[in-house]
Amino acid sequence: MATSTDNMSRISRRSYGVGLMSPRFLAACVLSCAPAFAQGLTVVDGPSMQALDVHVLPQGGATNGSTLLLQAVEFLPLEITGRGESMEMRTDCARLDTRNAISRIELPGGRRILAYSRTAARFYGYLLVDSNGEARVLLELPGIGFFGDANPFADRIAVDRQGTTMCVVAAAGGIHVVKLDGTTFASTGTAARFSQHAAALAADPISVMVGPTHAFFVSRDARMWRMPLADLGSPVACTPQGGVSTSRLKPELAMSEDGAKVAFLYGPSNTSLSIYLLGTAGGPTMLPPPPSKYEDANYLPEGTGHLKFLLNRDGSRLFYVDANVRDESHLLDTSGVLADLQITQDSIFEPYIGIHILPTFKGNVLIASIGDPDQMDWFSAELAPTGNVVRNITGTGSFAQPFPAGTMIPTKVAIAGNRALVTDASPTNASMQNLRVLDLTASTSAVLFQDLDGPILTGASTGPVPDVVVPGVGDRLFHGATGGLIAAAPPGFHIGTPISGSWFSVATVKIPPDWTALVFYFPDGTGVFGPLMHRLRQAAITHQDLLAVSTDQALSTMGVGVAQANAPLAAPQPIRLILSGAAN
């Protein structure tokens, strides 16, 4: 990550005060190349968050008016299966996010799913906001229960990592399989089909995991199932043979990142569980570790999100925790070629150190923070034919085995290329955090900043990897794909959530009391001030690189070198939010 003083100074001057351009010249120079393809802009407005209307506005020079898609909507809390703490800052897979007090599932490619009820909870459904700015209802059902206002869906959904398919367990049983790619099922003529197979009727919502071609789930009678996502596909029983009537099957499945395999725990009791691996064909395979008291995956929101059962991308490595005596962390080659590694064995760690947090994989290498509570270091663990390796990357305790407790209090991790960005609480100032970069190739680390006074802000993007803002005494803006420094704000000025299109990006800088400066910046490192906006509510970049700006007075779009007419909506309601594109 570029952090030299010269580079920071140069970028800061370019972005925050040299060669300011007028709004008219900016429109001509910055936006003159913005294409004018027809597309939509999805906006919600209303008197309160419990009474919103969903509008789809045509953009790019279209002459027809806006479409009122839904009325009297309240967006609902949303949860996704298989969610871990280390996934929070990933942008290459489906993930849960909350912006402007609305929960949503962010999908790769600038799409998102929202859950809603409407018309005084008489209907419940899921809304997809597509990358082109259009929105459509994926699935909607009437409320159920005595008063007809209870949610007909279970409390979470399952989505494959690439965002092509969603599975929703019905509250009364059965699984809705929903296409997210714009195609439909021949059997229904819609994006959704409903599986009423006996297994699907008893599916545990927590267990459902979705890959590109199959979903996997556990029924409440402790049986394992695999269901093809293709039209008319029904669940296939995959429970290991030889089980007894009292056998337990843990509902939290570990899925490989490619979605082709799941690992699960099955056995006669919680203290005698075996580990199994199941793919998209054939039956389950029992892995070599002997029966023991293996830990559940520990998914959010019921667990802490610090996963204890985790597969890498292709399912060739499994991280698991044996709690038979005390928590001991292991790394397993699921093919059985390389020997199992007990990471926290006494020869590697001083006795009784077995606590880990924020585990994640980079290829076949496991990254995790290990130590005593609030006394940790970051480690990498790798299996190799010449001998398994555990390395201390941060070394605040010691770089030599057996490793003692460290001094760090880690809080977040994000993998970027061959590096990991991690934050940890300052041991001397409770209101500050440190930002470190871990070099996963060289197994080294460096402290970048020690003044973080808030969470790292992950930007929004219509395609490229979003940029991030590292808050502190002076906020810093970093390139999401390379980790390079883009700009640093002077102390007292705060950079808002950055938004990126295909060829330009925008950051906002608050100027008290009610003004906001739009700062345009480009891949070549240059940046210019845009217009000052009074009481800016939101800025968004559409998929076709139009800039939409919402203020207390109007919702406008800019593109093709000029400011277009105000979008065809009435005067702003107390609540007005842009849901499509890259919006802050």
On whether residue 23 sits in a domain, the answer given is no
Whether 152 and 172 have beta carbons less than 8 Å apart is answered as yes
For residue 29, pLDDT beyond 80: no
More confident residue, 167 or 530: 167
How confident is the model over 535-539, as a mean pLDDT?
Answer: 94
**Least confident piece of the model among 52-66, 159-173, 406-420, 523-537:** 52-66
DSSP designation for 546: P
Residue 514 lies in a domain: yes
Q: Would you say residue 25 has pLDDT above 90?
A: no
User: DSSP string covering 212-269, please?
Assistant: SSEEEEEETTTEEEEEE-STT---EE-PPTT--TT-EE-S--EE-TTSS-EEEEEEEE
pLDDT at 15: 35
For residue 562, name the pLDDT band (cuts at 50, 70, 90).
very low
Strand 389-392 versus strand 375-382 pairing type: antiparallel
Residue 317 has what pLDDT? 98
What pLDDT, on the 0 to 100 scale, is given for residue 568?
Answer: 53
Q: Which residue has the higher pLDDT, 538 or 6?
A: 538
pLDDT reported for residue 577: 93
Q: What is the pLDDT of residues 373-397, one digit of tens each?
A: 999 999 999 999 988 999 999 999 9
Q: What is the spatial distance between Cα 408 and Cα 402, in angstroms, rounded to a whole number?
A: 18
In a domain, 108, yes or no: yes
Q: Who has greater pLDDT, 74 or 453? A: 74
Q: Which of 146-150, 421-425, 428-432 has the least mean pLDDT?
A: 428-432
* Residue type for position 174: G
Burial of 222 (0-12, 13-18, 19+ CB in 10 A): middle
pLDDT at site 377: 97
Q: Which residue has the tokens 């064909």?
A: 281
Mean pLDDT for 65-76 is 92
Write out the two tokens for 205: 């919502």
Q: What DSSP string runs through 165-190?
A: EEEEEETTS-EEEEE-SS---TTTSS
Q: Is the dihedral of CA 31, 497, 457, 157 positive or negative?
A: negative
Residue 565 placed within a domain: yes
Domain assignment present for residue 272? The answer is: yes
Task: Yes or no: say if 256 and 250 are a contact pair by the CB < 8 Å rule.
Answer: no
Measured CA to CA, the distance from residue 225 to residue 208 in angstroms comes to 10
Residue 28 pLDDT grade (very low, low, confident, very high; cuts 50, 70, 90): very low
| Nearest-angstrom CA–CA distance, 566 and 584 | 20
- pLDDT tens for 246-301 read 678 999 999 999 999 999 999 999 999 999 999 999 999 999 999 999 999 999 99
pLDDT at 566: 45
For tokens 């007909």, name the residue.
152
pTM tops 0.85, yes or no: yes
Q: Which residue has the higher pLDDT, 60 or 108?
A: 108
pLDDT tens digits for range 321-356 = 999 988 999 999 999 999 999 999 999 998 888 899
- Min mean pLDDT across 9-23, 226-240, 270-284, 484-498 is at 9-23
User: 227, exposed or middle or buried, with CB in 10 Å at 0-12, 13-18, 19+?
Assistant: buried
CB neighbours of 482 closer than 8 A, spacing ≥ 6?
Answer: 417
Q: What is the CATH number of the domain that holds 434?
A: 2.140.10
Q: Residue 18: pLDDT above 90?
A: no
**pLDDT, position 270:** 93
Closest CA to 250 of 222, 228, 282: 222
Confidence (pLDDT) at 559 = 61
User: What is the per-residue pLDDT for 481?
Assistant: 80
Give the pLDDT mean for 199-227: 96
CA distances from residue 239 to 222, 235, 298, 347, 525 in whole angstroms, order as listed: 8, 12, 22, 38, 56
Q: Is residue 356 part of a domain?
A: yes
Q: Within 10 A of 498 (CB to CB), how many other CB atoms are there?
A: 28
458-511 pLDDT per residue, tens: 889 887 888 989 999 889 998 888 778 899 988 888 999 999 998 899 999 998
Q: Are 264 and 276 in contact (CB under 8 A)?
A: yes
> Domain of 548?
29-583
Tell me how many domains the chain contains.
Answer: 1
Q: How confident is the model at residue 454 (pLDDT cuts 50, 70, 90)?
A: confident
State the pLDDT confidence band at 8, using cuts at 50, 70 and 90. very low
What pLDDT was estimated at residue 326?
A: 85
Which among 282, 284, 205 has a CA at the least distance from the CA of 251? 205
